[in-house]
Amino acid sequence: MRGPLQCVLWDVKDTLLKVRLSVGQQYCMEARRAGLDLKTSEVDVAFRQAYQHCSRRYPNYGITQGMDGQSWWMKVVRDTFSRCKVQDPTLLNTMALNLYNDFCNPENWEVFPDSQKALESCSSLGLTLGVVSNFDRRLEGILQACGLLTHFSFLVTSEEAGVAKPDPAIFEQALQRCGVAASNTAHIGDHYLMDYLSSRSLGIHGYLLDRQNKYTNSDLPSEHRIGSLDELPMRLQHFMD
């Protein structure tokens, strides 16, 4: 590493926090409020199909096709319920809007037990912290509601950046925001391609968060893998001494 570490970039979903219930469970709760009785397993399958279809046809929230995060997610919800044979357009729109707004609420998210301490420890090292996330514009409100926002100097979401991981361009935008060279920047995330390989392609010091121990026997260098965020500050401290 040329020069001391100055900035740490963070993924959010499944790194710092996770959805508390499955999508199928949350969608079925909304369906019950509308008087519908759907099976969670059926909704989970329908959601995966709708999500994959919209991701292929309208990548990164359809930004280049005139959509935004809200319209994209509402389409996913409508398509999910349509695959479960719900056909009333007014009802589909109502449930889609309700679910879009519901996912802003902190009760639908669970902060991992090691998140707050890791963020506080990294800040105490004098490091600038920023977010790089494939997320829509709701992210700031979610982080605020979950008590994490104050740790970060800036957020770069794929909706606002107009580009999504694994495209390195989103990391380039983050480097511009923090004004630090890639060689003086670290990144932590849970996805091998989108977080680890993408950040390292620019010379950022990427770490893979492997909570489920999926990569213990892989070609991933052990010094690039952490099983818990508790391990991160000590790894970073190594580059500060």
146 pLDDT more than 70 = yes
- Mean pLDDT value across residues 81-98: 98
Rounded CA separation 84/102 (Å): 21
163 pLDDT more than 60 = yes
- Is residue 22 within 8 A of residue 44, CB to CB? The reply is yes
pTM of the predicted model as reported, rounded to 2 decimal places: 0.94
With a pLDDT cut of 90, the percent of the chain lying above it is 93
Residue 196 pLDDT grade (very low, low, confident, very high; cuts 50, 70, 90):
very high
Write phi, then psi, for 18 (nearest 5 degrees): -145, 160
Residue 3 pLDDT grade (very low, low, confident, very high; cuts 50, 70, 90):
low
Instruction: State the pLDDT at residue 238.
Output: 82
Residue 30 pLDDT grade (very low, low, confident, very high; cuts 50, 70, 90):
very high
Question: H/E element holding 31?
Answer: helix 23-33
For 102-144, the pLDDT digits (tens) are 999 999 999 999 999 999 999 999 999 999 999 999 999 999 9
Residue with more model confidence, 161 or 239: 161
Task: Give the chain's mean pLDDT.
Answer: 95
Instruction: State the pLDDT at residue 1.
Output: 41
- Mean pLDDT value across residues 216-225: 87
217 pLDDT more than 80 = no
Sequence-distant (6+) residues with CB within 8 A of 142 are: 17, 103, 104, 106, 109
- Is residue 166 within 8 A of residue 197, CB to CB? The reply is yes
Single-letter residue type at 189: G
208, two tokens? 């893979």
186 pLDDT more than 50 = yes
15 pLDDT more than 90 = yes
